[in-house]
Amino acid sequence: MEIDLSRGSIERVPTNPKDTALYLGGLGTNAKLLWDRVPPEAEPFSPDNLLIFSTGLLGGTPATGANRTIVSTFSPQTLLMAYSMMGGFFAPELKYAGYDKVIIRGNSPELVYLWINDDKVEIRDASHLQGKGALEAAEMIRRELKEPKAQVCAIGLAGENRVYYASIEHSRSSASRGGIGAVMGAKKLKAVAVRGKKDINVARPEEFMTLCNEVLNYIQHRAKNPIKGVPPILAGIGSPQEMAIHDEEWHTTSFAWGNARHRRKGFWTKETAEVWKKTQEKAVERLISCYNCPMKCGAVVSYPALGISKYMMKCYSKLTYVMGAMADDLDFGFRIAGLAQEYGVDGYTAPQVMAFAVELYEDGILTDQDLPGFPSGNEERFFWLLEKIVRREGIGDILANGTYWAARQIGKGAEAYDRNTIKKHEQIPIKLGMLNPIYFLMYSTGEKMNITQIEGQMPQVPFATREEREEFVKDWIQVPDEKFKEFFLNWELRGENAFPHYPPPETACDLVEWQETMHYIDDILGICAGLSSFPIKPPYHIHNLPKFISAATGMDFDKDRLWNTARRIRNLLRAVNARRGLRRSDEKPPEDHWKKRFPDLEKKLLDTYYRFKGWNSEGIPTKETLDGLDLAYVAEDLLKRGILSEDETAAAEEAAEEAKQN
């Protein structure tokens, strides 16, 4: 469905089956639309930018966890393609209403919301919702429509005020990375409400249900068999079980606190563990799930003693504010996260921007003049900053642009405090010792820009003994190829087969391709990464996913065709971003991400990866690569714009020759 908010037009357009065959759905068809329709010069806040709410190819089918809404647009922060996904109940409802996507173009003159009730679609006045919290607005909409079963996603004050890291909130989930909530704000679209009562069909029903049952059985099997040898938070499936598990030793001692600066290696003591356990048990009223999924990755948080109203929390935001503020109490996390959700800000970026501001203040770069009435305690400071940021008041107007832009606007050396962004986007604050070649590549080149949405499937560090490793690979059915088991068996903590020179660049490329490809597939199909690309030994994998697609659509998919489709979409995304200026120089992790860096090795890793992908030395897919993926029209455009040149293929081969000689 196409909505033009400038003209107020609504148009139902059938999905093009040719595009479905090549790009399937979700992220794939979103990327195609953005390539085709948004000129690279278009500013993210301009009416020319599209905001696409998409279901995945399997969205709303009985496939467990096929509930993700894939929101795509161009980011005001990175200026590149932003795509963020949310779980919950929205995408299936949209599909039951009869739509694969809602494509929004134009900017409305007044604040509006969209009401999709099966075939009836209205653009409605939202002036009475201005300034309302995201979840508050959703509830008001359900009430005024008298549709308690409508699913709503909405922006809060941050989105309305175009904060560069504003989120779109829905129920217990949010699409928060890349500032897509700010684009929604620029379009003056407060919310989208949807109610659907139609059927979703699959092509080969019995076969499809058999596959679903296998997945449900495997989920039960994994529940009884947690992975040994990894922290509890990584042993199960689903998103990391932050709401159920209180043992936070791994996060609190391995991740950086404050402005991605401090490690607190001794933080997790027996006393802390006890206090945090109590807090969590008090706060969590019930563990909850998304649509059609037995996992319970979220929770209803109810903590009357803290004077906060009930809200739903997912996974890691419980810790991001706590660690950003160097707070010792988990209480603080539960208190501020609820408020931040109503305002609609990204739970990763917001606390890092606040920590950045606190550090600038402590080092005298920001002064009392910039921060009049700034409280003395860190927790109060975070609340203070949150209020300023979501209103773009005073210093908040600058901080609302994220660390990268704020640092440059503030100047006076503030740039040096922008220590944890890649491509202008805040990363998870991890600062480690030894360069990890796999993560180096994922951080540098991932289009998704959020490591948890690139990594997965593998233990993050090698197991200590050969016996443990042999035990681990025994039932590792998820690997696309036996060579991954070989790698894992030989991977050691120390010595020759350890970081940074093991795995060698070629193997590192293979490992990165596997990990990111699985995420691409999830985002195309609308399946939650928590059941698929993220955890170790997940129920969905490269061997059963093609069967799901075949049974659902009737198109014949096997492992190779699916892998190739993911490659096509991966390259299309890269081209979308290359056309907007992404180049090799942007592809680097923060300087202090690892203490021990190896510039020559890193260069070699990136060269090898680009070659492996069929990209030129600037990281742009060559004509040959694009032509081979049915993307000749993309190559043609890149050539016409001078982003690629005719001899580009030669350049890649030259590099290959050079590598051989070395």
The residues that touch another protein, with contacts defined as CB under 8 A, are 60-62, 64, 89, 96, 148, 171-172, 196-202, 205-206, 208-209, 213, 216, 219-220, 285-294, 296, 300, 302, 310-312
How far apart CA 340 and CA 658 sit, in angstroms, is 52
Residues in contact with 155: Cβ distance below 8 Å, sequence separation at least 6, in sequence order? 134, 166, 167, 168, 169, 181, 184, 185, 189, 190, 191, 344
Nearer to another protein, 287 or 655 (CB): 287
Residues in contact with 159: Cβ distance below 8 Å, sequence separation at least 6, in sequence order? 134, 166, 167, 168, 181, 182, 184, 185, 344
Q: How far is the CB of 284 from another protein (least distance, A)?
A: 12
Render the burial of 569-592: b for 16+ CB within 10 Å, e for the rest.
bbbbbbbbbbbbebebebbbbbee
Q: How far is the CB of 310 from another protein (least distance, A)?
A: 5
Q: How far is the CB of 319 from another protein (least distance, A)?
A: 22
Q: Is 187 exposed, middle or buried (0-12, 13-18, 19+ CB in 10 A)?
A: buried
Region of 115 (left: φ > 0; alpha: ψ -120 to 50; beta: rest) is: beta
Nearer to another protein, 289 or 649 (CB): 289
Q: How far is the CB of 119 from another protein (least distance, A)?
A: 12
Nearer to another protein, 291 or 374 (CB): 291
Nearer to another protein, 302 or 378 (CB): 302
Region of 118 (left: φ > 0; alpha: ψ -120 to 50; beta: rest) is: left
Pairing of strands 101-105, 2-4: parallel
Q: How far is the CB of 280 from another protein (least distance, A)?
A: 17
User: Is residue 174 within a helix (H) or strand (E), and if so which, with residue range?
Assistant: strand 173-175
Nearer to another protein, 214 or 380 (CB): 214
Q: How far is the CB of 123 from another protein (least distance, A)?
A: 24
Cβ 59 vs Cβ 67: under 8 Å = yes
Q: How far is the CB of 219 from another protein (least distance, A)?
A: 7
In the block, which residue shows the tokens 């449900």?
Answer: 216
Q: How far is the CB of 238 from another protein (least distance, A)?
A: 11
Q: How far is the CB of 323 from another protein (least distance, A)?
A: 27
Region of 182 (left: φ > 0; alpha: ψ -120 to 50; beta: rest) is: alpha
CB-facing half-sphere around the CA of 522: CA atoms within 13 A = 33
Nearer to another protein, 201 or 585 (CB): 201
Render the burial of 10-19: b for 16+ CB within 10 Å, e for the rest.
beeeeeeeee
Nearer to another protein, 96 or 164 (CB): 96
Nearer to another protein, 85 or 511 (CB): 85
Nearer to another protein, 162 or 314 (CB): 314
How far apart CA 95 and CA 56 sit, in angstroms, is 9
